[in-house]
Amino acid sequence: MKNKHRYQTEGEIYFQKQLFRSRIYFALAFCILLLLILLGRMTYLQWIGYNHYQSMAEGNRISVEPLPPVRGRIYDRNHALLADNQPIFTLKFSKDKMENLNKSFIDLQTLLPNLSEERLSKFYDRLNASSRYRQLYLPYTLSEQEAARFAAHSYQFPGMTLVAKLKRTYPFKDSAAHVLGYVGKINQSEYEQLEESSYAGTDVIGKLGIEKYYEPLLHGQPGIQQIETNARGRVIRKLETIPATPGKDIQLTLDIRLQRYIETLLDGKKAAVVVTEPETGEILAFVSSPAYDPNLFVDGISQKNYQALLNNPKRPLINRVINGQYPPGSTVKPFIALAAIENDIISPNTEIHDPGFLEYQDHRYRDWKRRGHGLVDMRKAIVESCDTYFYKLSLDMGIDLIHSSLTPFGFGHITKVDLQNESTGILPSRSWKRNVKNDDWYNGETIITSIGQGFFLATPLQLAKATSILANRGEIIQPRLLKSAPTFVIKKIAIEKTQNWERVIQAMEDTVHSIHGTAHAYARGLPFKMAGKTGTAQVFSLNEGEYNEDEITKNLRDHSLFIGFAPVDKPKIAISVIIENSTTKAAPVAIKIAKYYLEELSNED
């Protein structure tokens, strides 16, 4: 660099310095301005936005994991475990952390070949439809080998974690299935109704039976665990834990031994049996036969199994005890007789001649005994189950009196037992017929009502309740399944003369014990006194009663019924039995139940 340049004049140097300086000042001002912009931005983020970002940082850091409550167990009256929680391995799916749903499921299918494709694809749909942050459990129990295999490959399955979980189990399988019901996956409509926070971390809910009725008691309240996690969701430490409130254990009034004894007696026949303790209304046995295994439903029942249950001609899914509505047949006779003598329609000693039929308005109403019972008083009418006696009686009483005096026994109303969707049965009346059939009441209908036929329908539980009231000599009880509920007598049926009760009960005792009694054949040598009444419910009315048992298919054969209680003086149990299509007689079943209970079980209490 030689002196190529010319010398600068003083003015030029001054100008040059001024120019450079002005640029320096400009640059400094520019820097200050931009730094102030940065400061403004930081003020915005750190001061104004502090709360917002603070909570986002907390959200980043802290994840809240629900701690699902342990579902209350269900015991029978003697503390036998009816519904338990069993620890199992399953997979928890956190949808928000899953990457490729499709691929994960295909990989999972290969890893767990025992997991049925149907179940997996159902679960896939459920996961797809669920909200992003809801955690779901695979409805499948992994064996220990499968759990180990998954653990080894878990890196392939982001968002899926192997968890130990409690699964509802019913150790007695199909025993008392209709009482217990079952739990199952919460479905969309249930999910919309329930309080979301109390079901965080829980994906089953009571669907039926006690499990459903006492869901609020059994479920409990979930706890919360705050966990500090890093960006990859790994747990750094546990911060705060609010423990879950476990669901309450509940004790039922059932005696599972009696329940099982009855189930064995029925041996899968289509039948329903209810045994209650008349004094308290506690239900000792509640059998709807045949039953099903509720364990099948807990993880979601497979289509195949479900179809099999639906298509089973014996209809195991139906709860016959509260939803089976049967014509009560002759089992209503004691109630009608009581109403008649109480209302002075007839004296108990008045004898009526029975030629084997009643002729009324050109129609012959036949007695079950073709030749007739001859001279019949009230006692004989019950003991031998004379139809003609009640035909005549009913015409004197009229449907209104029959309706009003049978209503207090609970016919035509739900018993309010602690189960849902109970059927009401039908206690026919003029207004009922007007409302439902839009027709007048005819006296011929009164006649068949008096023997529990026609429109008359009752559930086995209603019969058991009515029998208990009879056994209590009028004290109305509330049948129930929960042991810890208080016993309260609602009211007493206003029947003034106690001897009226005793007369009817005596007739029922003779039905079981006297030589002509319809149940006598099965009660020989019974060491205690039992009162009862047999019944036959016509399923199919045939003209003029001409019916040949062999010609009619089994499904159309009449049902066999029995109600009763024992011991007569101080009743400990009341029983109602219905055997559909009379595949066996109801009376011997009831007598065996009473014998078993009074001799083997009741002494312990």
Partner 1 sequence: MKIDLPQRENVYRQKKGIWFSMHLDSWLLLGIFLLIITGSLIVYSASGSDLNVLIRHLTRVGFAFALMLFFAQIPPNIMRVYTPWIFLIGTLMLISVILFGEMGKGAQRWLDLGIVRFQPSEIMKLALPMMVAWLFAHDTFPPPRKKMLIGIGLVGLTAGLIIIQPDLGTSILIAMSGLFVLFFAGLSWRWIASAIAIVAASLPIVWNFYMYDYQKQRVLTFLNPESDPLGTGYHIIQSKIAIGSGGLEGKGLMGSTQAHLEFLPESTTDFIFAVFAEELGLIGVAALLTLYLLIIARGLYIASQAQDNFARLTAASLVMTLFVYVFVNIGMVSGILPVVGLPLPLISYGGSSMVTLMISFGILMSIQTHKKLLTS
- Catalytic site residues? 330
Q: How far apart are CA 355 and CA 418, in angstroms?
A: 47
Q: Which is nearer to partner 1, 38 or 494 (CB)?
A: 38
Does 442 help bind partner 1 (rule: CB under 8 A)?
no
Pairing of strands 74-75, 81-94: antiparallel
Q: Which is nearer to partner 1, 39 or 148 (CB)?
A: 39
| The two structure tokens encoding residue 150 | 């998954």
| The two structure tokens encoding residue 375 | 């001279």
Q: Which is nearer to partner 1, 31 or 375 (CB)?
A: 31
- Kindly list the distances between the CA atom of residue 218 and the CA atoms of 77, 100, 199, 206, 452, in Å, as whole numbers in the listed order: 17, 37, 12, 9, 40
User: Among 465, 571, 464, 453, which residue's Cα sits nearest to residue 509?
Assistant: 571
Does 542 help bind partner 1 (rule: CB under 8 A)?
no
Q: Which is nearer to partner 1, 36 or 375 (CB)?
A: 36
CB of 245 to partner 1, least distance (A): 31
Does 31 help bind partner 1 (rule: CB under 8 A)?
yes
Q: How far apart are CA 330 and CA 326, in angstroms?
A: 12
Q: What is the pattern of x (binds partner 1, CB under 8 A) and - over residues 171-210?
A: ----------------------------------------
Q: How far apart are CA 224 and CA 33, in angstroms?
A: 50
Q: Which is nearer to partner 1, 56 or 152 (CB)?
A: 56
CA gyration radius for the chain? Answer: 38
Q: How far apart are CA 562 and CA 509, in angstroms?
A: 13
Whether the CB-CB separation of 574 and 464 falls below 8 Å is answered with yes
Q: Which is nearer to partner 1, 97 or 248 (CB)?
A: 97
Q: How far apart are CA 355 and CA 544, in angstroms?
A: 15
CB of 29 to partner 1, least distance (A): 11
Does 34 help bind partner 1 (rule: CB under 8 A)?
yes
**Segment interacting with partner 1, rule: CB under 8 A, options 30-38, 338-346, 376-384, 443-451:** 30-38
CB of 311 to partner 1, least distance (A): 49
- Residue 582 CB partners (closer than 8 Å, separation 6+): 536, 557, 558, 559, 560
- Kindly list the distances between the CA atom of residue 589 and the CA atoms of 104, 123, 218, 254, 577, in Å, as whole numbers in the listed order: 56, 45, 34, 18, 8
Does 604 help bind partner 1 (rule: CB under 8 A)?
no
Does 546 help bind partner 1 (rule: CB under 8 A)?
no
User: Among 50, 139, 43, 135, which residue's Cα sits nearest to residue 97?
Assistant: 135
The residues in 220-249 that bind partner 1, with binding defined as CB under 8 A, are 228-232, 236
User: Among 204, 275, 231, 283, which residue's Cα sits nearest to residue 480?
Assistant: 283
Q: What is the pattern of x (binds partner 1, CB under 8 A) and - over residues 498-517?
A: --------------------
By CB under 8 A, name the one of 20, 442, 528, 540 that touches partner 1.
20
CB of 97 to partner 1, least distance (A): 11
Q: Which is nearer to partner 1, 53 or 540 (CB)?
A: 53
The residues in 48-67 that bind partner 1, with binding defined as CB under 8 A, are 49-50, 52-54, 56-58, 60-61
**Segment interacting with partner 1, rule: CB under 8 A, options 24-32, 73-81, 484-492, 498-506:** 24-32
Q: How far apart are CA 423 and CA 326, in angstroms?
A: 11
Binding residues (CB under 8 A) for partner 1: these are 1, 3-5, 7-8, 10, 12-13, 15-17, 19-21, 23-24, 27-28, 31-32, 34-35, 37-39, 41-43, 45-47, 49-50, 52-54, 56-58, 60-61, 228-232, 236
